[in-house]
Chains A and B, each alone.
Chain A
Amino acid sequence: MKILMLGWELPPHNSGGLGVACYHMSKALAIEGASIDFVVPYAANHPDTEFMSVHAATKLDPLGRYGSMGAYDSSFATEDAAAFGIREVQRQYVQFVEKLVKKTSPEAIHAHDWLTIEAGIRAKQLTGAPLIVHVHATEFDRSGDTYGNPLVHEIEYQGLMMADRIIAVSNITKSVIIQKYDIPADKIEVIHNAIDTESLGSEPYDKRTYTYLEALRAEGYTVVATVTRFTIQKGLVHFIKAAARACEKYHKLVFLLAGDGEQRDELIRLSAQLGIADKVFFTGFVRGKQWRDAYSVADIFVMSSVSEPFGLTALEAAHYNSALVITRQSGVGEVLHNIFKYDFWDTDTLANQMIGIATSKALAENLKQNVKHEYAKLSWRDVAQQCMQLYKTLHGKAAL
């Protein structure tokens, strides 16, 4: 079956979970027999993608695909943006797809998130093939408590209307699509993401990466970490407040915030105001070994998101042997049971859970070991089989 896969990034040129998910899903689909044309909005070399054809829609380098802006930030998507805004990249992307479909004649079009939706709609118009819109995050998720960019909402709405079928990465995302975009529930299928543990590599943990934290651990401290972008969506203000609250009752806790983002200065100020500045560690943007070892140094991994469609980092943390504490507003919590859950605003509960794990070896060990059994069962093969099933049901049945 010929699939036109419309993506925005692939590893190693990804800035988050979207590229990772697209890569593994495509790979698993290829094994299930799909023939995939994968379009990205930049020109770069992608190693280990021989199972599909990767097409560069523009001549931009990978960092140029957002125009001059940062990843995932949609606030710059305006029609009159400076010369090379993201809208211009999207226009070129659409033009490229228009030409591509004349040669490839896809049997299904699989578009990932708002960035590629317009191209997906256009491809459907030209080919009559069914359009599947795969929602990894909506503008509501990206914008936290603010409304977000109306133009992006509009594009998302059009895509959801035009789609023959919608895939949501969690029930949480499915409800957002139903409630905020008025889409009928029976048009949406939930297919949770998975994790490919082999791709995480097997490099041993290097204790020297976070030497100071390891020294504290040796003194009986518990390291609580989160690996994320510092945006409103991630709920880190609540996390810092919970950290301060926990330290009132138990002092042998330290907090590692791995990542970077617009909220960084605010978070630093807040931890100082709350008197725990010496217990909160900011790494800045991390990649490679620093990124991997941030998981390994952690005894507890917290996902504090206000709204998290899925949350792949939780599965990565499980892989690196952390006990997980996750907000009920995170989709990954739908597939894991051997974890603690809390509501993102409930700082006392988070504090209680962190102290509980820090003060009981048995609790920490049970959480770590049992979640390992659980996450290992999530496979991209299952995801691909569900997608193939969906392509087959839609085959030749695009609603125009």
Chain B
Amino acid sequence: MSKRGIVLYLHVHQPFRVRQYSVFDTALHHDYFNEADTNSDRNNEKVFRKVVEKSYRPMNKLLLTLLKRHPEFRVSFSITGTFIEQAEKWAPDVLESFRQLVATGRVDIVSETYYHSLAFFYSRSEFERQVAMHRKKIKELFNIDTSVFRNTELAYNDALAAWADERGFKGILAEGWDPVLGWRSPNFVYRPAGTRNIKLLLKNYKLSDDVAFRFSNQAWEQWPLTAHTYNQWTNASIDSSQVINLLMDYETFGEHQWKDTGIFEFFESFVTMWLENPDNTFYTTAEAVQVHNAVGEISMPHTVTWADTERDLTAWLGNSMQQEALKYLYELEDDILRTGDPTLIDDWRKLQTSDHVYYMCTKWFTDGDVHAYFSPYESPYDAFLYFMNALRDVRYRLMAYHQGGIHG
């Protein structure tokens, strides 16, 4: 029987945020992602350089140290195309450090859409093109063939699993959500309903969120969380099961949880403590699905994500502004692709990044929980306004290729 192990999976992503793109820019300027104000959180370069400093550089350094120190340590990443493009422009050394990590042979990179989009729910053909683009980019950069799939925001359903199975993926990631699991534990490998070969890894959201969300929360009764305590929790949780899937944003380390919270020291100590127990190991996502047999079948006919207490897509598609924005965007697919204009196609795809519609989410504003609105915009309405002005400009640019008016 195989050892029990942690699957540590870190999601690496930065969107191209839309600047305060006004109606007076539409049809004149096409630089949607080029916020001039260097103090603004819409300035992609500024944000990127900040996160590089606080998170990517120190965390990659720590990961490399841990890989060298512990032969059993493993880590998996999903790295979006929009992140890679920003790193190529503003911090090539960060890409280089990812390459070093991958070169150890103990790091896996997970497949996803290049643009961190929700294309699966709008256009299967566009979705497949973006997955292929991502796969190609990862192969070029890291010389890795991806074999495990995760969809944007971990948005998962049976249809997605069936698609990934058909395309030959060996594994797929999803949220380990109680209403779906019932009495079953997320600490086992499952088979998605209606598939033949693919296996399902489920996020242990409790243990993942202890680190990702609660670690520095002083109002939390477990604060301050020590590596020792967390090691007890993880050992107790895994008991005689197969895996603990710790899935979280990479930026948890250094950006969401700042350095002075002790997150790096915590993580370093925890890895050591976990491996002190001879029953324990780490797996990459690819290894986990290879080593362990599926213990049962899980069905998720409705889409489940890793967000909010609802675990659904309402943060991205919950209001009519979000629905309108994406409807208009995806309606352009055929016209855009027919132009063959790489810049236009790329701009259109960058607008598909799910962060844009997330910024338009109004549920925190209507709940009165304004502080939960994480966005570089003053309000969801501003986010929508700039996005729509940009989308109208995309339509305007299309006119150069096609006869006919600007619909809508």
Contact = CB atoms under 8 A, between A and B. Distances in A.
Contact of A356 (B23, B324, B370, B378): B23
B324 A250 contact: no
Interface stretch (A19-27, A210-218, A310-318, A360-368): A360-368
A362 B320 contact: yes
B379 A362 contact: no
B233 interface: no
Interface string B315-353: 000011101100000000000000000000000000000
A367 B388 CA distance: 16
B384 interface: yes
A302 B22 CA distance: 18
Given A337-B379, A352-B389, A373-B366, A366 B23 contact: no
Interface string A335-354: 00111110000001101110
B381 interface: yes
A363 B368 CA distance: 19
B24 A338 contact: no
Contacts, number: 72
A348 B22 contact: yes
B202 to A, nearest CB: 34
Contact of A370 (B323, B324, B366, B388): B366
Interface in B17-34: 22-24, 26
Chain B CB count within 10 A is highest, among A353, A360, A377, for A360
Interface string B283-302: 00000000000000000000
Contact of A337 (B26, B319, B370): B370
B318 to A, nearest CB: 11
A94 interface: no
Contacts of A351: 23-24
B292 to A, nearest CB: 46
Contacts of A363: 321, 381, 384-385, 388
A348 B21 CA distance: 11
Contacts of B365: 337-338, 370, 374
Interface string B375-388: 00011111011001
B362 interface: yes
Given A337-B379, A338-B362, A377-B368, A360 B22 contact: no
Nearest to A359: B388
Contacts of B385: 340, 352-353, 356, 363
Contacts of B24: 249, 348, 351-352
B23 A355 contact: yes
Contacts of A250: 23
Dominant SS among interface residues on chain A: helix
Nearest to B408: A359
A356 B370 CA distance: 23
B389 A340 contact: no
A127 B44 CA distance: 63
A340 B22 CA distance: 14
Contacts of B324: 360-362
Contact of B362 (A340, A355, A360, A366): A366
Interface residues of A, number: 26
B370 A360 contact: no
Contacts of B382: 340
A370 B382 CA distance: 15
A338 B389 contact: no
Given A352-B22, A355-B23, A366 B320 contact: yes
Contact of B378 (A341, A359, A360): A341
B362 A370 contact: yes
A347 to B, nearest CB: 11
Nearest to B322: A362
A349 B388 CA distance: 15
Interface in B215-274: none
B401 to A, nearest CB: 23
Contacts of A360: 321, 324, 384, 388
Contacts of B389: 352, 356
A373 B381 CA distance: 16
A359 B319 CA distance: 17
Contact of A362 (B323, B368, B378): B323
Contacts of B319: 362, 366
Interface in A197-212: none
Contacts of A373: 366
A189 B257 CA distance: 35
A366 B383 CA distance: 13
Interface string A136-175: 0000000000000000000000000000000000000000
A356 B389 CA distance: 8
Contacts of B321: 360, 362-363, 366
B379 A340 contact: yes
A358 to B, nearest CB: 10
B12 to A, nearest CB: 32
24 contacts: A250-B23, A338-B379, A341-B378, A348-B22, A352-B23, A352-B385, A356-B381, A356-B385, A356-B388, A359-B388, A362-B319, A362-B320, A362-B323, A362-B324, A363-B321, A363-B388, A366-B320, A366-B321, A367-B381, A370-B362, A370-B365, A370-B366, A373-B366, A374-B365
Given A340-B385, A360-B321, A362-B324, 4 more contacts: A348-B22, A365-B320, A366-B381, A370-B366
Q: 3 tightest CB-CB pairs across the interface, nearest first?
A: A362-B320, A362-B324, A356-B385
